[in-house]
Structure 1
């Protein structure tokens, strides 16, 4: 069961969306619970094929559910036809009508909901003004930049006055330079929406910047949910740990500061600060790892003999991947790499101070 909201944060508002989505296919099954407060932005984060977009489309009524429920503002819309749901959706490729102007694209939704032509165009004009697109109201999609098209698509989704806003990889179609600017604009626009928002993304930065809460989906199941800071500090799967750049291990804490991680009979000993007990996760950043050619003296409480199996440039650092008594990644400077004369296949010693290891219940 996914916890609903953190009462200390912006999600203290009433729950707007309460859903359990179950979709089964011959080689895939999705079962996820999604809870979003009014005014809250939830990001569904996960690798390709995890089931994120399937969940989003099921919420929209575009994919049939085998089981579950969709309750929006206290109303069960599970069996409500797609076109009658109070939902706005922004697709990955925006899917703007090429033969229509930006204004006509945004006015399309209100017209379908029964608004007169003049009223629909007034609504569209107001939304385009809010998106700083008034000067482009007469332009067709082919004449718009990627960022402008994304804002038109968002305006079109908002024009039907939805209570649930769904965005499927909203920045994926943009180049890297444009994405930074549009991401900031999108966050401002979402902050002014008082309904529930669900964003699907595989980009951790996008999730951390845009969302109030993050739900991680892997292999059709929810594996973690929390604020961006909580997920980044306390990952619970290898996938999340890789995203946030941590070495992560699951093990058993004996209550004396030792955590045993790894397969039975070949456990590695990991010394942590404090005296946790029971099943735990232990994590530390690659920057906390020091590498030595010989067994180190001094302060590291954790020392393992490892074999280097990969070296890659990582920003202004070098990331060294190693396996052995404990599989880990270490970030060192190019100068340290040269001094140690490291190469794949070399045997070295890795050291980590106990104070650098974060330990929390599994």
Structure 2
């Protein structure tokens, strides 16, 4: 049997020192977090996805461009009408609730701070819109600025803030309305590469102190792996995979996810210790032994670093060996990534020295070998 190659402002609160997910374990029926089915029709595109997030939990939504990530976020915020489905927050149906009344806070990709207002008044804006008096709103804003470490910047205008500081003000503004659902739209996209790592770690600490459900939309797998408790992957408007960051990284189920986590991924039919793949190639999965056999549809995956390349057929009898054609070469960190086509299209990461020994030219053929112990197998 052959197989395909699998070629990616509203209300809640802040509790100091609260454990993530604490609200989900209290037995309090009103603290269920987010439970939504989102159906949105936009011409030829249709989003039909279920999203859930417990109180105190961060769920990252990943997907390629056009997968429906932004549409899902806008629907949760009330900025996109549903054709079907519902949005439940802490056992309350907010599907038809006006946008301004939803207990939802949102941090936009570019933060959208009011340039003519101080940091303090930016944060106080939401409570003022909810009817709080000026003194009460500013007091709440001051408390939140102190909580995010920006008390000394209360009088600063947005143009005087760094990217990381602006993000913290935007987060404080979203939390000032005491949301039960926090939405983050590409929260690190506006930052330069030099500040992203530190701001990512800081945001992780801030999110760990929240007891509202949080949904994070991102195209960056590192953001999702670091910030999220669970990941939901959208492709073409549908959920194709979900789980903890570890589960998603170790067991990708689509080519998009495999590329995100840096694995070669294939689907095939297993019989014993052999898996039949597209084009007649076969692979011996590492997890299979004579006493534990695989049968049926499975995925097999292995990292590009596990692939060894040879100009001549290697000695011995490697259990995974294919004659393939070099289609391209690119720099990849301190390694070289080689794109190979043939019976088993794959990526191989080798050293520049190993590449020099191969002396590849366009269309050159090489032998690719992978140890059985490097191959991961799991049910499809």
TM class, shorter-chain normalised? over 0.9
Question: Which sits farther off after the overlay, 152-161 or 26-35?
Answer: 26-35
If asked which structure has higher relative contact order (CA below 8 Å, sep 6+), I would say 2
State the secondary structure of the residue aligned to 1:139. Answer: coil
Q: Indicate which of 280, 284, 287 corresponds to 1:267.
A: 280
Aligned match of 1:308: 326
Aligned match of 1:81: 98
The unaligned stretches of length 5 or more in structure 2 are: 1-18, 26-31
- Post-superposition offset of 1:11: 5.0
Cα distance in 2 for partners of 1:129, 1:186 equals 15
- Post-superposition offset of 1:231: 0.5
Cα distance in 2 for partners of 1:182, 1:96 equals 18
Aligned match of 1:258: 274
State the secondary structure of the residue aligned to 1:242. Answer: helix
1:200 maps onto 2:223 in alignment: no
The unaligned stretches of length 5 or more in structure 1 are: 1-8
Cα distance in 2 for partners of 1:246, 1:81 equals 44
Q: Indicate which of 47, 58, 61 corresponds to 1:30.
A: 47
Cα distance in 1 for partners of 2:334, 2:375 equals 24
Aligned match of 2:160: 143
TM-score normalised to structure 1 length: 0.94
Asked if 1 retains the 8 angstrom alpha-carbon contact of 2:325 and 2:342, the reply is yes
Asked if 1 retains the 8 angstrom alpha-carbon contact of 2:21 and 2:211, the reply is no
Asked if 1 retains the 8 angstrom alpha-carbon contact of 2:145 and 2:154, the reply is yes
Q: Indicate which of 45, 48, 51 corresponds to 2:68.
A: 51
Cα distance in 2 for partners of 1:165, 1:299 equals 55
State the secondary structure of the residue aligned to 2:112. Answer: coil
- Post-superposition offset of 1:27: 2.3
State the secondary structure of the residue aligned to 1:109. Answer: helix
Cα distance in 1 for partners of 2:362, 2:228 equals 39
Aligned match of 1:290: 308
Asked if 1 retains the 8 angstrom alpha-carbon contact of 2:20 and 2:208, the reply is no
Structure 2 counterparts to residues 44-193 of structure 1, below 5 A? 44-193=61-210
Q: Indicate which of 326, 332, 343 corresponds to 2:361.
A: 343
Quick one: structure 1 residues 336 and 148, their matched pair in 2 at CA, closer, same or farther if it must change by over 3 Å?
A: same
Aligned match of 1:357: 375
Question: Which sits farther off after the overlay, 180-189 or 10-19?
Answer: 10-19
Cα distance in 1 for partners of 2:79, 2:92 equals 19
Structure 2 counterparts to residues 205-244 of structure 1, below 5 A? 205-244=222-261
